[in-house]
Amino acid sequence: MNSLILRTIAPFLAALMMLFSVFVLLRGHNEPGGGFIGGLIAASALAIYGIGSGVDTVRRAIVVHPNAIAGAGLLMSAVAGLSAMFMGRPVLTGLWWIPVVEGIEIPLSTVLVFDVGVYFVVLGSLASIALTLEEGD
C-alpha cells in the first residue's frame, strides 16, 4: 500500500498496540484478557506495521523468525503445564514461588509462564501467517 498517512502512523500505532498487548497479557489473571488476546493484538500490530512499512522491515524488526517465537511459546506452555506433575500434583496445577530480590518479594507462578507461552504461540503463528500473506502481493 502506498499511503503516506499509513506509512507515517504505522510504526507509532504498532508500538502502542504492542504495549497494550503486554498490558492485556498481564492483567488477564484478574480481569478479561490474557495470553491469547494479547497475542492477537501483538500480531495485529505487526500486520499493520507490515502493511505500512513492508514485510522486510517487519522481519528485520522482530529479528527472530515468527515460527521460532511460536515454538518457544509452545515449549514454555508445556513446561509450565507439566511442572506440576513433577511436584506430585495434577497437570496444569498452578505453582507459586516468591523470589526475594534485595527485600522485594515478586510472586511468580506457572500460570503466568503458561500465559506468556500462549502469547508467544499466538503471536508467532499469526505473525507468520500475516507476513506470508503480505509477501504474496
Which region, left, alpha or beta, applies to residue 104 given φ > 0 means left and ψ of -120 to 50 means alpha?
beta
Domains in the chain, number: 1
| Helix axes of 35-53 and 55-62: crossing angle, nearest 10 degrees | 130
Mean pLDDT, the chain, whole residue set = 88
Which residue range forms the structural domain that includes residue 25?
4-135
pLDDT (tens digit, 9 = 90+) per residue, 72-85?
999 999 998 888 88
pTM of the model: 0.87
pLDDT digits (tens, 9 = 90+) for 55-72: 999 999 999 999 999 999
Confidence band of 128 (pLDDT split at 50, 70, 90): very high
What is the rounded CA–CA span in Å between residue 42 and residue 120?
A: 9
Please give the pLDDT value at position 100. Answer: 63
